[in-house]
Every structure is written in C-alpha cells, then in structure tokens.
Amino acid sequence: MSIKTEQFAAANKAAVDSLLAVANTALASAERIATLNLNTARTVLEDTAASAKALAGAKDAKEVAAIQAALAQPAIEKAVAYTQAVVDISKQTQEALAKTVEAQFSDFQKSMAGLLEQASKAAPAGSEGAMAAIQSAMAAANSAFANMNTTARQMAEAAQANVAAATKATTAAAKKSR
C-alpha cells in the first residue's frame, strides 16, 4: 500500500490550516486580554487619582474613613468584573480550541478509517487478526479521546462554577461590610 502524493499534500494542508486556526485563536485571545488589561490599568489610574483628590480634600479622620468606605465597594465590583471578563475570555478560547481539536480528530478518524479499509482490502490472507487488533486500537483511541474531551469540559464547567461562587461570595461580603 502506498500513500498518494495528493493524500500527503491534503494531509499537510489540513495540518497547516489547523495550526493557523489554533494560532489565530490564541492571538485573538491574547489581544482581548491585553485590551482588557490596558482598559483596567487606565481605569485604576483614573480611580486612584480621583480617590487621592477626594482623600486630600478630607477635613478630618472621620471623613477619610467615610471616603475610603465609599470607594471600597466600587473597587471590589470592578475587580470582580475584571475577573469575570478574564474567565469569559478564557472559556471562549477553550471552547474555540476544543472545536478545532474535535474537528481535526474527526478528520483524523475518517482518514484512518479509510486507510484501514484500504489496508484490509490489500492485506494478505491470514492477517485478519492484525487488522482486528488495529481496529480495536482505533476504537480504544476514539474512546479515550471522548473521555478526555468530556473530562476537560467538566473541569472547565467546575472552574467556571467556582469563579461564579467566589464572585458571589466576594460581592456579598463587600456589601455586608458596608
């Protein structure tokens, strides 16, 4: 059995396309995180300047404490919003990468099934056991991928739930302390 030049070229093109998709997804995610960080830094700088002005204008310690208490809640809310934005970007990136991997694995499965079919047709008599072993190995690989994919999704969902719970607890604690 020989691999045709067209099959090799198609496989190479698919690999390059897949790598480009992963690279573009990663770059888009990095760009979104960088933009979020720059906007957050700008907001923190502006808030710090406004806080410093307000505190400088305070007439006594009681007024300083009141200003600080008033500034704490918005700062906590902004920190929670930032964290949620990072989680959202990460989740969207993970989902996009998972789709790319799933599509590539699906294409790989189809290619391997075609190659196995060709190999079984061209295989000499008595090689049925070897072909069955190869098919069994492919089925095991497919099952392992499905299990890995399910586990990765469950872990991502658990992480999202933990961040949501921590966000809710932080916000509640901040409101309670006022």
Q: Which pLDDT does position 34 carry in this prediction?
A: 96
74-92 per-position pLDDT tens digit: 998 899 899 999 989 998 9
Per the CB < 8 A criterion, the answer to whether 103 and 136 are in contact is no
Would you say residue 1 has pLDDT above 50? Answer: no
- Of 176 and 144, the one with more pLDDT: 144
More confident residue, 27 or 169: 27
pLDDT of residue 3: 54
pLDDT at 9 over 80: no
